[in-house]
Amino acid sequence: MKVYETNDIRNVAMIGHGNSGKTSLTAGLLFTTGATNRLLRVDEGNTITDFDDEEIHRKITISTGVAVAEWNKKKINLLDTPGFNIFINDTKASLVAADGAFVLVDGVAGVEVQTEKVWSFSEEFKLPRAIVINKLDRERSSFERALESVQSVFGRTAIPIHLPIGAEKDFIGIVDLIRMKAYTYTRDANGKGVESDIPASMAEAAKAAHEALVEMVAEGNDALLEEFFAEGTLPVEHIIDGLRDAVRQLRMFPVLCASGLHNVGSDLILNFACENMPDPSERGPWTGMLNGKETERPVKDSGPVSAFVFKTIADPFAGRVSYFRVVSGVLKNDVNLVNARNGGAERLAHIGTLAGKTMNPIPELHAGDIGAVAKLKDTLTGDTLGDKSSQIVYPAVKIPEPSIAYAIAAKTRNDEDRMGNAIHKILEEDTALRFYRDPQTKDFLLAGSGQQHVEIIVSRLKKRYSVDVELHAPKIPYRETVRGLADVQGRHKKQTGGHGQFGDCWIKLSPLPRGGGFEFGNEVFGGAIPRNFIPAIEKGIVETASKGFLAGFPVVDFRVVVYDGSYHDVDSSEMSFKLAARKAFKAAMEAAKPALLEPVMNVEIQAPVEFAGDLMGDMNGRRGRISGMDTKGGTQIIKAHVPMSEMLNYQNDLISMTQGRASFHMEFDHYDFVPGLQADKIVAAARAAKTGEEEEEE
């Protein structure tokens, strides 16, 4: 692989809704540039960027793949990203390495929910972008309808620079509205069009579209606007220059045409990337922390070496593979760098450029380039590697917390021994996952962006690491509390041979606000209970509260004050008062109107507007309370507070209700009282389970 200078590098992400054809178009671009010797297909499972077993099996992109295309003396690093909502966090994490993006839109479906989501990611990173209306060879595809959808959501600055020649199965070419030339393609050929004049049947439409494009290019540039008013048009070279500036300044979002499946328009897309997408230095400096101060680091070869690790792959054979972007300096093979997070030294042996899972060795990478290296010791996604003398730290991309968790258990003892290490390796690769133990239920929980996400991890555990596990819905961490007051006595007296046991205490129990936890007060006067026995009373109450009263769930948000009692000079002990406190607490719970609390989640749903009514009705049926609504383009955002117990299977239900076009995110918000009917069922089930366990022990 040739070494490229910064100004000859383009880092371009392929983003869009799932099934918009990102991987197929990437395969077409690679074939057109000669990176592959034939047009690879998703349905055949042999594309460069979808190389994981699960991606091949499911025919969807799960994790961002990177491949290099060389075109017109430029190096284009293509990042093929996921488009389905449960894997969309990987897209966001990878966009930090990009300098531009092609937003793919299905020629049949138009703009979809995840199209808007990845667009918002691009806005967050201030990425120049163009829109590619893909799959124009599909039945029922329509460039006009898709363009109308694009402009209704993204505005009039999304303007065509292409028009399709033919429609559906007769889509055979493209009109270039900048140069006013037509390009026709032989299906499944090398993606290079044959130039010709615009067909007579399209001349009028092409002229009108050209004039609209020229007017839009001139709009944001005073010099071009003056020329446009004077001449009524602009020469081709001024259109090209004006378009390039408008794209890089985020004033225009050109709309292109393509068919990734039959490789129509690949050469024009590659030309656009080379001419209009910025090189890494043109995006401006990266900002990081250096010696405790915010510092800007220009993307130049002349600076100290620094690289940002934006992705990690856990390869069972090659070990940990780190994808990085060189931010500054020239990164040479076998260089020694320092991880700014932990201060550890890392030797980058055998750096390479990427072609999916294949790493092609390269002697050096210049500022702005993307590469990979295997077997770094302690470097993870989001880490910064740099020169020892200048350890700048670039901020990691913030990923939303997982929306759903499942209890995970090994099937055999052998699996149990290997499970922790295998999951740890997968966690290094997937920053959207969490693995932890619930302190109350004692379950090990694996949390991800959705049910399918977690199921894929389970499949990987088996295929990669030979670890068999089972998934279960997690136990709901209910809690108990009190609504009323109680003033009771706890008395423990036991006489056996020798010393007996005697403890006697009076306590007052009262509720605290939600989140109040537990408070203990001592108001004993006159030595009714010696001071050294007070901690034993507190301990007895804490231990008993942890085991619950109604259904075995911890008691929370209450205050206990011990205010009187009695003792025996010989028979009283810490254990006696601890047992007395237990009896007092149980008596107090019985008198203080015990109640059950359930975790309530803060839920945010994003879905097409047409599903809003059904989704709100469903939320009400789940005992949810709508807390807010907002509309962005064609997307309805619904916010609600919903009991956790009602959300365990929501992912599948949401897919069914919206044909997979919606996504949701949830996080814990607060605890609230369980309604009486549901509480009775939960208490009955918990007591039945406890009785069953006791019978098994006997």
**Is 86 in contact with 450 (CB distance < 8 Å)?**
yes
How many domains does one find in the chain?
Answer: 5
Instruction: Say whether both 70 and 83 belong to one domain.
Output: yes
Alpha-carbon span 637 to 606, nearest angstrom: 5
Crossing angle (nearest 10°) for helices 266-276 and 22-32:
90
Residue 581 lies in a domain: yes
Instruction: Say whether both 45 and 87 belong to one domain.
Output: yes
Instruction: Say whether both 292 and 436 belong to one domain.
Output: no
Instruction: Say whether both 569 and 663 belong to one domain.
Output: no
Mean pLDDT of 325-336: 96
Instruction: Say whether both 273 and 302 belong to one domain.
Output: no
Percentage of the chain with pLDDT > 90?
71
Using DSSP's 3-state secondary structure scheme, residue 413 falls into helix
Residue 339 lies in a domain: yes
- HEC profile for 72-129? CCEEEEEEECCCCHHHHHHHHHHHCCCCEEEEEEECCCECCHHHHHHHHHHHHCCCCE
Instruction: Say whether both 571 and 508 belong to one domain.
Output: yes
Mean pLDDT of 73-91: 93
Instruction: Provide the whole-model pTM.
Output: 0.80
Instruction: Say whether both 172 and 30 belong to one domain.
Output: yes
In this structure, what is the dihedral angle of CA atoms 252, 258, 263, 268, given to the nearest 10 degrees?
Answer: -40
Residue 460 pLDDT exceeds 80 = yes
We report the CATH number of the domain holding residue 58 as 3.40.50.300
Please name which of 412, 419, 400, 403 lies closest in space to residue 457, comparing C-alpha atoms. 419
Instruction: Say whether both 551 and 458 belong to one domain.
Output: no
DSSP for residue 51: -
- Beta 100-106 vs 129-134: how paired, if at all? parallel
Please name which of 137, 368, 170, 174 lies closest in space to residue 269, comparing C-alpha atoms. 174
Residue 469 lies in a domain: no
State which of 282, 302, 335 marks the end of a domain.
282
- The residues with which 688 forms a beta bridge, in sequence order, are none
- Range with the lowest mean pLDDT among 23-32, 81-90, 647-656? 647-656
Mean pLDDT of 118-133: 96
466: left (phi over 0), alpha (psi -120 to 50) or beta: left
- HEC profile for 298-331? CCCCCCCCEEEEEEEEEECCCEEEEEEEEEECCE
- Range with the lowest mean pLDDT among 343-347, 612-616, 693-697? 693-697
Residue range(s) defining the domain that contains residue 582: 480-592
Instruction: Say whether both 261 and 329 belong to one domain.
Output: no
Mean pLDDT of 228-241: 90
Residue 691 lies in a domain: no
Place 693 in a pLDDT band, splitting at 50, 70 and 90: low
State which of 568, 592, 616 marks the end of a domain.
592
Q: Say which amino acid occupies 328.
A: S
We report the CATH number of the domain holding residue 570 as 3.30.230.10
CA distances from 556 to 450, 485, 578 (A): 31, 14, 19
User: In this predicted model, what pLDDT tens digit does every residue of 491-547 receive, in sequence order?
Assistant: 999 877 667 899 999 999 999 999 899 999 999 988 899 999 999 999 999 999 999
- Beta 444-448 vs 434-437: how paired, if at all? antiparallel
Instruction: Say whether both 492 and 535 belong to one domain.
Output: yes
We report the CATH number of the domain holding residue 337 as 2.40.30.10
End-to-end CA separation in angstroms for the chain: 71
Instruction: Say whether both 363 and 456 belong to one domain.
Output: no
Crossing angle (nearest 10°) for helices 451-465 and 650-658:
120
Residue 548 lies in a domain: yes
Residue 686 lies in a domain: no
**Is 654 in contact with 662 (CB distance < 8 Å)?**
yes
Alpha-carbon span 445 to 299, nearest angstrom: 42
H-run or E-run covering 426: helix 413-429
**Residue 698 pLDDT:** 47
Instruction: Say whether both 438 and 559 belong to one domain.
Output: no
Residue 697 lies in a domain: no
CA distances from 330 to 3, 281, 347, 365, 588 (A): 11, 13, 15, 6, 72
**Is 268 in contact with 174 (CB distance < 8 Å)?**
yes
Alpha-carbon span 446 to 647, nearest angstrom: 16
